[in-house]
Amino acid sequence: MTAVLRKHNLCSLRSFLTPQHNLRLYPRILIASAYGLLHTAAEPQHSVEAAKKLVPCEHLEQNQAKPISLAQNHGEFVISVIKSITLKTQLAQVHAHILRTSLVQDPKVSLHFLTRVALSGPLQDTNYARYFFGQISYPSVYLYNTMIRAYSVSNSPEQGFYLYRDMRRRGFCIDPLSSSSAIKSCIKIQYLLGGVQVHGCILKDGHQSDSLLLTALMDIYSQCGKCDEACKVFDEMPQKDTVAWNVLISCYIRNNRTRDALNLFHVMQSGSYKCQPDDVTCLLLLQACAHLNALEFGERIHGYMLEHGYCASKLSNSLIYMYSRCGCLDKAYEVFIATTNKDVVSWTAMISGLAMNGYGRAAIEAFEEMQRMGIRPDDQTFTGVLSACSHSGLVDAGMAFFHRMSEEFGITPNVHHYGCVVDLLGRAGVLDQAYQLIMSMVVKPDSTIWRTLLGACRIHGHVSLGERIIEHLIELKAQEAGDYVLLLNMYSSASQWEKVAEVRKLMKEESIQTTPGCSTIELKGVVHEFVVDDTSHRRNKEIYQMLDEINAQLKIAGYVVELSSELHKLDDKEKQYVLAYHSEKLAIAFGVLATPPGTTLRVANNLRVCVDCHNFMKIFSWVYNRDLIVRDRNRVHHFRGGHCSCSDYW
DNA sequence: ATAGGGTTAG
């Protein structure tokens, strides 16, 4: 028997070692394998000697492939070989070897092998993993788990879910890891129904107290827009750790409940929970502050970060972003200067911040300074620079950057770049050139590009081009309420009421809804939210009284309601009434009511501020002698003494 | 024996 075994192994060994060039290329693995094979022979001492004869000694010393303990068996040895594999070709060799020796059916060996193929960085190859997995007659739970996990990170995650289901059908004992990987697969493809099924399984398996599983579940509900479900899972968690809180916060941010997200910062630290926010919490909350223009809250987070020594560059860059979006460039710059090792992201954050606030030339200077510091701009840096040019009306400079980008830096323009340039030309009134540029794009123009030009048509009252653009959008099946609103704007500016009625009818038929305007204002770290005609605030009555008073004051100072901002076909008196209660005005009125004279007011709006509100704000800043900082979708407007930082509207 | 959850910095 031993003789047969020895003969068999030595044969394998010979076949394994035959090609000389392989020995040169992969000495370590071959030597190791040689040892491994020989160790299974009946007389190990002899085997080692034999191996030394087969494999030149210098290789042995060079690669420190010392003979391992004789007590270890072949399988363990092969595992150590598997662990040392660094190349795909070696992987194939070992694969062939374990097939030949039937080691492939050894659960430990196959698990190690699959792990390397399925999950380990450079060797990762899902197809190979699938092929290998298919060769196992009786896969263990671990092998299944590893395979599901492999699928979940591959580009066919649905397979992970199917395998999980298959595993359950076959009656395997499911452990939390299986379900966790299955959820990951579902998250990747936003497969809510799959997530719900796994949720049911988790309850059936009795894993409903596993925090890690429950956070994964929250995440899938969150990513599929099921905020309430995510909250329910959170509420039922026996132990809520920081990660769970972070998932809840990111869920709120993702699902437009930014204000609730901010509130959690205090709730999580409160008496009953006593959970410490970590660096991820800070990062998420800074994003929320940036959304809401909540400077004071952002400063509070900043203070908390300093207190706890959270100063990773990711957080610095988030701070720069938050301060810029809140219109607080001094602070953004302060953080930027204090950031050691400024990388391309830090520079881009600063450049975009300057651009957003209307400091086009400063943004360009920063761009040049960045290059002097030897930091190479990337595509996003150019998005910042180009938007700086478009916001500041620097047409020639913008076009020059656009050309340099591809010629000098080899960056192919993407939709954002084209968007900026179309915006640049559009604002400058060169609409036809902008149209030509879009038509000449190598990549198919997307709806955003068309929408940008549509916005320019609205500014310049170019109705016929606007109609053509709507057709392009319809062709892309991408028309949104906002597009029709712009078209409506154009028609109503041109008093084409029949067309207005036509478009309204179309919108109603296709049940296209307009996004309601919503403004927020932060006072003492508390964010107050208003929608148009909002009457839900507890100081509602006072707010409307104050707004009426402000309107009266501004009229004395020469403010005239810009009626073209209202789309409805109403008589002028009715229009005035509707325009008077736009959400940004309500927020400003509340600000006046609740702060001492002279306090800067900061308002954020989810849409673009309309022409009438823009005029209102200018005159307000002068009559009430207050600085007013208003952030809409992508710009920060600074109002002071009757002027706006943006010289013209938009 | 697998080694599991949150950040997608601009």
pLDDT at A16 over 50: no
Q: What is the pLDDT of residue A25?
A: 35
- B4: residue with closest CA to C1': A177
Q: Are A447 and A484 within 8 A, CB to CB?
A: no
Q: What is the pLDDT of residue A474?
A: 83
Most confident of A77-81, A149-153, A559-563: A149-153
pLDDT digits (tens, 9 = 90+) for A453-470: 988 898 888 888 988 988
Q: Indicate the pLDDT class of residue A42, thresholds 50, 70 and 90.
A: very low
Q: What is the CA radius of gyration of chain A?
A: 33
Tokens found for residue A471: 């057709």
Gap from A253 CA to B8 C1', Å: 14
pLDDT at A152 over 80: yes
pLDDT at A531 over 90: no
The CA distance from A389 to A182, in Å, is 47
Q: What is the pLDDT of residue A8?
A: 42
Q: What is the pLDDT of residue A566?
A: 64
Q: Indicate the pLDDT class of residue A82, thresholds 50, 70 and 90.
A: confident
pLDDT at A55 over 80: no
Per mean pLDDT, which range of A17-31, A495-509, A527-541, A620-634 is the poorest? A17-31
Q: Are A336 and A350 within 8 A, CB to CB?
A: yes
Q: What is the pLDDT of residue A47?
A: 47
Strands A628-631 and A601-605: what pairing? Answer: parallel
Q: Are A293 and A604 within 8 A, CB to CB?
A: yes
Say if residue A374 is exposed, middle or buried (CB neighbours under 10 Å; 0-12, 13-18, 19+). Answer: exposed
Strands A526-531 and A601-605: what pairing? Answer: unpaired
Gap from A549 CA to B10 C1', Å: 42
Q: What is the mean pLDDT of residues A256-280?
A: 92
- B3: residue with closest CA to C1': A177
pLDDT digits (tens, 9 = 90+) for A92-138: 888 988 888 888 888 888 999 999 988 877 788 889 999 999 999 88
Q: What is the pLDDT of residue A482?
A: 74
CA angle, A276 as apex, A270 and A281 as ends, to 5°?
Answer: 110
What are the start-end ranges of the H helices in A225-309? 227-236, 242-254, 258-269, 279-292, 295-308
- B9: residue with closest CA to C1': A314
Cβ neighbours for A441, distance < 8 A, ≥ 6 positions apart:
A418, A449
Q: What is the pLDDT of residue A498?
A: 87
Judged by C1' against the alpha carbon of A280, the nearest nucleotide is B7
The CA distance from A554 to A576, in Å, is 14
Question: What are the beta bridge partners of residue A639?
Answer: A628, A644
Q: Indicate the pLDDT class of residue A626, thresholds 50, 70 and 90.
A: very high
Judged by C1' against the alpha carbon of A119, the nearest nucleotide is B2
Q: What is the mean pLDDT of residues A29-43?
A: 44
Q: Name the fold adopted by A413-514.
A: 1.25.40
CA dihedral A484, A489, A495, A499 (to 10 degrees): 0
Q: What is the mean pLDDT of residues A421-426?
A: 92
The number of residues making up chain A comes to 650
pLDDT at A520 over 60: yes
Which nucleotides on strand B sit less than 7 A from a protein beta carbon?
1-10
Q: Are A506 and A484 within 8 A, CB to CB?
A: yes
- B1: residue with closest CA to C1': A108
Judged by C1' against the alpha carbon of A316, the nearest nucleotide is B9
Gap from A320 CA to B10 C1', Å: 10
Sheet with strand A518-523: strands edge to edge: A526-531, A518-523, A601-605, A628-631, A636-640, A643-644
Judged by C1' against the alpha carbon of A344, the nearest nucleotide is B10
Gap from A329 CA to B3 C1', Å: 45
Judged by C1' against the alpha carbon of A213, the nearest nucleotide is B5
Gap from A234 CA to B5 C1', Å: 13
- B10: residue with closest CA to C1': A349
- B2: residue with closest CA to C1': A142
Q: What is the pLDDT of residue A507?
A: 77
H/E element, A87: none
- B5: residue with closest CA to C1': A212
Closest CA to A161 of A201, A105, A117, A207: A201
Q: Indicate the pLDDT class of residue A561, thresholds 50, 70 and 90.
A: confident
Looking at per-residue pLDDT, the higher value among A66 and A154 belongs to: A154
pLDDT at A269 over 80: yes
Q: What is the pLDDT of residue A1?
A: 27
Q: What is the pLDDT of residue A21?
A: 30
Question: What are the beta bridge partners of residue A630?
Answer: A603, A637
Judged by C1' against the alpha carbon of A83, the nearest nucleotide is B1
Q: What is the pLDDT of residue A341?
A: 86
Q: Indicate the pLDDT class of residue A564, thresholds 50, 70 and 90.
A: low
Looking at per-residue pLDDT, the higher value among A133 and A51 belongs to: A133
The CA distance from A159 to A150, in Å, is 10
Tokens found for residue A197: 């099924």
Q: Are A296 and A521 within 8 A, CB to CB?
A: no
Judged by C1' against the alpha carbon of A284, the nearest nucleotide is B7
The CA distance from A625 to A642, in Å, is 9
Q: Spell out where A107-185 has E strands.
A: none
Q: Indicate the pLDDT class of residue A599, thresholds 50, 70 and 90.
A: very high
Q: What is the pLDDT of residue A6?
A: 42
Gap from A156 CA to B7 C1', Å: 24
Gap from A447 CA to B4 C1', Å: 40
Gap from A78 CA to B9 C1', Å: 43
Q: What is the pLDDT of residue A61?
A: 42
Cβ neighbours for A76, distance < 8 A, ≥ 6 positions apart:
A108
pLDDT at A649 over 90: no
Q: What is the pLDDT of residue A38?
A: 41
Q: What is the pLDDT of residue A569?
A: 56
Gap from A314 CA to B8 C1', Å: 11
Instruction: Supply the DSSP symbol for A520.
Output: E
Q: Are A79 and A112 within 8 A, CB to CB?
A: yes
3-state helix/strand/coil string of A573-642 = HHHHHHHHCCHHHHHHHHHHHHCCCCCCEEEEECCCCCHHHHHHHHHHHHHCCCCEEEECCCCEEEEECC
A295-308 vs A258-269: helix axis angle to the nearest 10? 40
Q: What is the mean pLDDT of residues A506-516?
A: 74
Gap from A223 CA to B2 C1', Å: 27
Gap from A411 CA to B5 C1', Å: 37
Q: What is the pLDDT of residue A228?
A: 94
Q: What is the pLDDT of residue A372?
A: 94
Looking at per-residue pLDDT, the higher value among A533 and A263 belongs to: A263
Listed by start position, the domains of chain A span 2-138, 342-401, 413-514, 518-644
Judged by C1' against the alpha carbon of A243, the nearest nucleotide is B6
pLDDT at A246 over 80: yes
pLDDT digits (tens, 9 = 90+) for A371-412: 999 999 999 999 999 999 998 889 999 999 999 999 999 999
Tokens found for residue A214: 């429950």
Q: What is the pLDDT of residue A634?
A: 81
Gap from A349 CA to B10 C1', Å: 5
Count CA within 13 A, CB hemisphere, residue A633: 7
Q: What is the pLDDT of residue A435?
A: 93
**What percent of chain A shows pLDDT beyond 90?**
54
Q: Please give the mean pLDDT across all residues of chain A.
A: 84
The CA distance from A215 to A234, in Å, is 8
Q: What is the pLDDT of residue A543?
A: 94
* Phi/psi at A518 (5° precision): -145, 130
pLDDT digits (tens, 9 = 90+) for A292-331: 999 999 999 999 999 999 988 889 999 999 999 999 999 9
Looking at per-residue pLDDT, the higher value among A45 and A286 belongs to: A286
Q: What is the pLDDT of residue A645?
A: 83
CA distances from A113 to A118, A146, A148, A152, A295 (A): 9, 11, 15, 18, 53
Q: Indicate the pLDDT class of residue A4, thresholds 50, 70 and 90.
A: very low
Judged by C1' against the alpha carbon of A153, the nearest nucleotide is B4
